[in-house]
Amino acid sequence: MIRIKCPYCGERDHSEFTYGGDASIKYPALDAPESEWTKAIFFRENIRGMQKETWHHTNGCRLWLEVERSTITHEIKSVKACHPQIENITKNKS
Amino acid sequence: MTSQRKEHYGKINRDKVLGFTWDNKEYFGYEGDSLASALLANDVRIVGRSFKYHRPRGVMSCGVEESGALVTVGSGSRRDPNVRATTQELYSGLNASGQNAFPSVNFDFGGVNNYLSRFFAAGFYYKTFMGLPPFEWGKGTGIWMVFEKIIRKAAGMGKASREPDPDSYEHANDFCDVLVIGSGPAGIAAAQEIANNKLDVILIEQDSLLGGNSLSQKDFDAHLLNDQLKNSGIRVMSRTTAFGIYDNTVVGALERVTDHLSTPHSNLPRQRFWTIRAKHIIVASGALERHIAFNNNDLPGAMTVNASKHYLNRYGVLTGNNIVISTNNDSVYQTAIELHEAGSKVTILDSRENVNHDLPQEIDLHLNTLPFSINGRKKIDGIDVYKTSDLSHKNTIICDQVLMSGGWSPIVNLVSHRGIKPVWNNENQCFIPGEIKENISVVGSAKGIWNEKDCVESGFAGANEAMNTFGIHKKEISFPPVGGWSNAIEPLFEVKSNKFPSKSFVDFQHDVTTEDVRLAHREGFVSVEHLKRYTTLGMANDQGKMGNIIGLSLMAEQLDKTIPEVGTTVFRPPYTPVPIGALTGRNVGKHFRPLRVTPMHQWNIDHGAKMIEVGLYQRPWYYPKKNETLSDSYIREATIVRKTVGICDVTSLGKIAIQGPDATELVNRIYTNPFAKLPIGKARYGIMLRDDGIVMDDGTSWRLGENEYFMTTSTAAAAKVMSWLEELLQTRWTDLKVNVTSVSEQWAGAAIAGPKSRDVLNECVFDPTEITNDNLPFMGVLQTKLKDGTPCRVVRISFSGELAYEMYIESDYAHGMMDMLWESAQKYDGCLYGLEALGALRVEKGHVTGAELDGRVTIDDAGLGKMASTKKSYIGSAMRKRGVLSADDREVLVGFFPINENETFNAGTIVCEKNNIKGQGVGRITSVTHSPELGHWIGIGFVKGGLAKWKDITLVGADPVRNKQMEIKVVSPHMIDPEGKRMYA
Ligand SMILES: [Zn+2]
């Protein structure tokens, strides 16, 4: 079972979390053209190896986390809060 | 075989005699017996019939790898099939029987299959699926359909109870520093060493007694060991199987809590399903002895060598009087001596040319000798043997038991679960675990280390690895080398002669013979994974614990390759079977999923509501007066709402508090319609899209203050919308100063709908003149208090199309609010209404819900295009008109009437053109109701091209599932009061 070290709650089972998606995507501005949005929404890498992804601590502190996880071994390299200010507050905790 | 109990042997408690039943006959055993040892002590030879050929089978091992003694234990609702008699502890009153046999394992008519065996060879099922040549070749499953029932009946093993499981099961969790799996010499050494260094250790043992293979030693005391371990602070879990290792050194384990007790304990679960999160795992799972494939190697009395040693020294049962031991390795010699000392005549056949062992004179040692065929029908009469060098010279030895040892296989299953490929060790003829990069150490014979001293040493080495994980560095101890026998093992997997056909079993449980493996090869199945599936080798209850390696060796021989070149199949969890009940735990019946009730749940029931599940929520469905049916009731309720007033619990809607200086900005970005200028004290209906432009949800947002909104969502999408807002605020719009809080549980809500709703409200609020059209116009919001002073929120909003309000109050005060509203509504001949009437009212108005907004629908499809702002950008605005989403032939929201007003239709009906009733038609009906106002059935749904295209054209509603068809016409979805005069009144 994947165990994720939530910077706020500590290490928890993945069953407490909901998988979000690719964390490396920069979503375009709301008024950006359709072509940019199409690229952001539909064109995704299918990474074999370390990938940055978002996880929501749904049954916990409700933070959205950026997790670096290997898609081959499930090894988790890093976890941090997505929100930069929350990251600043929580990063020294864990 | 004549097996018997021996005085002065074994670790059983002879003071405690236990009565038990086997195939309706009474027997006795002792406390500490397994069912298998008790049967052997009573000289019960045949305990099962084989899967396909119904051959008689006896006890073949003493552990989880058992392939012969699969029995049914218990009766009625507690009937448990395919129980390994070797691991079932004996208890007083245990009731067991043989399976896969009629009338009994001793006389089984199914035995005729043995003579039809060529029809049941490898691939039998697949060939039957394909059809029966020459009549049906390639025609598919015709013949299978005919014979399936017969075949299933004939080829089943035990039968599960059809009654509900009366036992309870539990899920449990634990944590530790180091988890040690297995309590043999290596596991014990590791656990003790680690516990001595003040780390928290859990030791798991599948057996009831600790000791592993030490239990086969005469003087070993398991209870003493148990006390020692507990005194060192080790948490010992016996009767617990670690069935799988998962990511992050998490172990799944099954604890059998009451399976060894006569009467199930009313306060204990039958089994516990453990999830144990360790920081380091030491696998000391041991090794299993292999058999050898030769003719009739499955006759009752054929057994692994080490098993007989266990039966002698653990259970005090001598398994034969005249025993032949067949081997290719050194592990059997100590056993031979002990069996001899216990009084058996012992003959050893060793396939090797030279071995060095001191044996008592009475033991006959035949070197260079291979077992060829066991003689006998239901019991062993003797064995034909050959000289290795001269396969023509046969010799027959009279005996009543044949013990086999074709080498040992380390139990690499658990580390295989981690994707670690086992590596073939040619010197020891076995697979050993490959390199492990996680915090897992393998010690003892699980690593291919054979003698006890080395196993202990490897335990210490493993302990050191584990302690390194915690930064404790001890003097370097290296692992002893793999192996440890003084005479090298020689490969011996099968003995065959081309002159005689043989039935040499590779996988006893699935009756897979050496010939089946060769047949599979001839038919082109050359990969091990295909071989496995075609022959079903290794797919039975034991998952190939005994037969896999032999199968691989045969395949290697056919392919002219080596075993490592052929490779092995992947072991997956569970190591031994895990009952579904244990997986399910407490999540059965009412607890199958969480139950959500609204704060007025009891109030609703007390007032006669029939409830319905909506997602996890219990909501009022309808409030029948006496003798009323559902349809009587909802038609009455909907009629009263339109005539006077009705009250409905709407608490299950999602509610989100949005607060902060950028609250307006957030709300304006997520809804399609403008919110930037929504005044304080007003609410607005809004649609949210997904990034890709499809409708996500609809709801309302009320502006309570400069920086505060109260959002409602649909019941179904409440959690999704909440997560979505959090995602946007935490990942995309991190500059916005907004906080969102789910307040769904904090507020109870009721709809008050109908022409008299304003009167009802005024009777309930503190100032009875407060609510007027002026100070609470359509979509107005009022924060006020009830006449008893309780604060509440009122919004003028309408789902029914009537003059209507929703009132929200803190959840704890819900009953009081409902009492007040209901007392007042009764004065106007009002009613309570449920979800069915709510649905009828909204369908009449053409309002969409989840049935329409199903994740495929755009805002234009839903007929709400006017709500999509062209003056601002919002989530989904860039994508909502992309490509196919703006095609001309999209399905658009419409209403449906039956042509014949007496006809009805159902949701799910496919809308077709009159002469073209097929496929997906031109549309679909998504919601239907009887309309009390119109006096006939109505529906809403989608049709290609919308009302403009199909106006005045008769279409057909096709409902092939219910075998129904009716003529329908397309109308506007707004079937009642399209101008909305009533709700603005
Ligand atoms: Zn958390």
CATH number of the domain within which A8 lies: 3.30.2270.10
Distance (Å, rounded) from C-alpha B750 to C-alpha B830?
Answer: 14
Kind plus residue range of the DSSP H or E element containing B678: none
Tell me yes or no: is domain B1-161 CATH 1.10.1060.10: no
- Secondary structure letter of residue B573 according to DSSP: S
Please tell me what DSSP assigns to residue B103.
Answer: B
CA distance B839 to B906: 14
Q: Does B246 touch chain A (CB under 8 A)?
A: yes
| pLDDT band at B132; cut points 50, 70, 90 | low
Q: Does any CB of chain A come closer than 8 Å to the CB of residue B676?
A: no
DSSP string, B194-261: HHHTT--EEEE-SSSSS-GGGGGSTT--HHHHHHHHHHTT-EEE-SEEEEEEETTTEEEEEEESSTT-
Count of alpha carbons within 13 angstroms of residue B895, beta-carbon side: 19
Q: Which residues from A are below 8 Å from B277, CB to CB?
A: 3, 13
Check pLDDT > 80 for residue B128: no
CATH homologous superfamily of B888-976 equals: Aminomethyltransferase beta-barrel domains (2.40.30.110)
Paired tokens of B695: 């409708």
Whether the per-residue pLDDT at B708 is higher than 90: the answer is: yes
Q: Which residues of A touch B727 (CB under 8 A)?
A: 20, 54, 56, 64
Q: Which helix (H) or strand (E) holds B397?
A: strand B390-398
Q: Write out residues 653-672 of B within 8 Å (CB-CB) of A.
A: 669
Q: Average pLDDT, stretch B245-273?
A: 94
At residue B476 the predicted structure's pLDDT band, cuts being 50, 70 and 90, is: confident
Q: Do domains B1-161 and B596-652+746-841 have the same CATH topology?
A: no
Q: Which tens digits make up the pLDDT trace of B359-388?
A: 999 999 999 999 999 999 899 999 999 988
Indicate the pLDDT class of residue B31, thresholds 50, 70 and 90. very high
What are A76's two structure tokens? 């988790």
Which region holds residue B935: left if phi is over 0, alpha if psi is between -120 and 50, else beta? left
- Rounded to the nearest angstrom, the gap between the alpha carbon of residue B601 and the centroid of all alpha carbons in its chain is 33
Cα of A18 from ligand 1 centre, angstroms: 12
Closest-CA residue of B relative to A73 is B247
Flag if A2 and B730 touch (Cβ within 8 Å). no
Q: Which residues of chain A have pLDDT under 50?
A: 94
Query: Which residues of chain A lie closer than 8 angstroms to B247, CB-CB?
Result: 1-3, 74
CA distance A54 to chain B (A): 9
Type of residue at B506: V
Closest CA to B771 of B814, B816, B735, B824: B824
Minimum mean pLDDT among B389-398, B428-437, B569-578: which range?
A: B389-398
What is the domain count for chain A?
Answer: 1
Q: Work out the angle at residue B711's Cα, subtended by the Cα atoms of residues B705 and B717, and round it to the nearest 5 degrees.
A: 170
Question: How many Å apart are CA B634 and CA B640, to the nearest integer?
Answer: 10
Q: What is the three-class DSSP state of B865?
A: helix
Question: Distance from B121 to chain A by nearest Cα, in Å?
Answer: 39
The pLDDT of residue B792 is above 60:
yes
d(CA A79, CA A57): 12
Encode pLDDT of B194-240 as tens digits. Answer: 999 999 999 999 999 999 999 999 999 999 999 999 999 999 999 99
Tell me how far the alpha carbon of residue A20 lies from the centroid of ligand 1, in angstroms.
15
pLDDT given for residue B139 in this prediction: 56
Question: What is the DSSP-derived secondary structure letter of residue B731?
Answer: I
CATH class of B167-289+407-472: alpha beta
pLDDT band, residue B527 (cuts 50/70/90) = confident
Q: What is the mean pLDDT of residues B123-137?
A: 59
Query: Residues B435-441: what's their mean pLDDT?
Result: 96
Rounded to an integer, the average pLDDT of B118-133 is: 63
Domain ranges of chain B: 1-161, 167-289+407-472, 291-403, 504-576, 596-652+746-841, 654-742, 888-976
- Write down the pLDDT at residue B497: 76
Q: Given phi > 0 = left and psi -120 to 50 = alpha, else beta, which region is B716?
A: alpha
- Looking at the complex, report in whole angstroms how far the Cα of residue B178 sits from the nearest Cα belonging to chain A: 17
Would an 8 Å CB–CB cutoff place B248 in contact with chain A?
yes
Nearest to A41 among B691, B730, B877 (CB): B691
Task: Check residue B389 and give its pLDDT.
Answer: 77
Q: Does any CB of chain A come closer than 8 Å to the CB of residue B886?
A: no
pLDDT at B735: 97
Distance from CA of A87 to the nearest CA of B (A): 10
Average pLDDT over residues B845-868: 95
CB-based contact, B729 to chain A, within 8 Å: yes
DSSP-derived pairing of the beta strands B804-810 and B287-289: unpaired
Architecture of domain B291-403: 3-Layer(bba) Sandwich (3.50)
SS3 B643: helix
B468 touches chain A (CB under 8 A): no
- Please list every residue in chain B whose beta carbon sits closer than 8 Å to the beta carbon of residue A1: 246-248, 250, 275
- Look at residue B119 in the predicted model and tell me its pLDDT: 64
Q: Complex ipTM, two decimals?
A: 0.98
- Say which of A18, A36, A83 has its CB closest to residue B730: A83
A32: nearest CB among B419, B732, B878: B878
**Residue in B250, B692, B734 nearest the CB of A3:** B250
Fold classified for B654-742: Alpha-Beta Plaits (3.30.70)
The string of pLDDT tens digits covering residues B406-416 is: 999 999 999 99
Helices (H), B627-764: 630-643, 663-670, 718-727, 757-764
Q: Contact A83/B729, CB-based, under 8 Å?
A: yes
- Residue B939: per-residue pLDDT: 97
CA of A81 to the centre of ligand 1 (A): 9
Mean pLDDT of B927-948: 96
pLDDT bracket for residue B729 (50, 70, 90)? very high
Encoded tokens for A16 = 């407490």
Residues in chain B closer than 8 A to A3 (CB atoms): 247-248, 250, 277
| Strand arrangement, sheet containing B382-387 | B369-375, B382-387, B390-398
Which residue does chain B place closest to A4, by CA atoms? B248
Rounded-to-integer distance, Cα B581 and Cα B559, Å = 43
Q: What is the pLDDT at residue B744? A: 97
B140-191 tens-digit pLDDT: 556 666 666 666 665 557 888 999 999 999 999 999 999 999 999 999 999 9
CA–centroid distance, residue B728 to ligand 1 (Å): 17
Between residues B281 and B548, the one the model is more confident about: B281
Q: Do A2 and B874 touch (CB under 8 A)?
A: no
For the segment B304-316, the average pLDDT, to the nearest whole number, is 98
Give contacts of A38 with chain B, Cβ < 8 Å: 879, 882
Chain A residues in contact with B276 by the CB 8 A cut-off are none
For testing contact with chain B, the best of A83, A88, A89, A90 (most B CBs within 10 A): A83
Residue holding tokens 């502190």?
A61
Residue B131 has pLDDT above 90, yes or no: no
Give the integer Cα–Cα distance in Å for B650 and B839. 12
- Rounded Cα distance between B582 and B586, Å, is 9
Find the closest chain B residue to A23 by CA distance: B731
Residue B105 has pLDDT above 60, yes or no: yes
- Number of C-beta neighbours around residue B590 at 10 A: 7
Q: Which residues contact B32 (CB under 8 A, 6 or more apart)?
A: B10, B11, B12, B13, B90, B315
**Angstroms from B877 CA to nearest CA on chain A:** 7
Contact A1 B248 (CB under 8 A): yes
Note down the domain range covering A78.
3-28+36-93
pLDDT at B266: 85
Q: What is the per-residue pLDDT for A53?
A: 97
Q: How is domain B504-576 classified at the CATH fold level?
A: Arc Repressor Mutant, subunit A (1.10.10)
Nearest CA in chain B to A66: B731
Task: Tell me the mean pLDDT in the region B290-299.
Answer: 96
CATH number, domain B596-652+746-841: 3.30.1360.120
Of the candidates B246, B727, B875, which has its C-beta nearest A64's C-beta? B727
B788 touches chain A (CB under 8 A): no
Residue B656 exposed, middle or buried by CB count within 10 Å (0-12, 13-18, 19+): buried
Q: What is the CA radius of gyration of chain B?
A: 38
Does A37 contact B878 at a Cβ distance shorter than 8 Å? yes
Return the number of other C-beta atoms located less than 10 Å from residue B310's C-beta: 24
Chain A CB contacts of B275 under 8 Å are 1, 13
Contact list, A87 vs chain B (CB under 8 Å): none
B723 neighbourhood in chain A, CB within 8 Å? 18, 56, 58
> B250, A37: Cβ pair inside 8 Å?
no
Ligand 1 centroid, distance to B730 Cα (angstroms)? 13
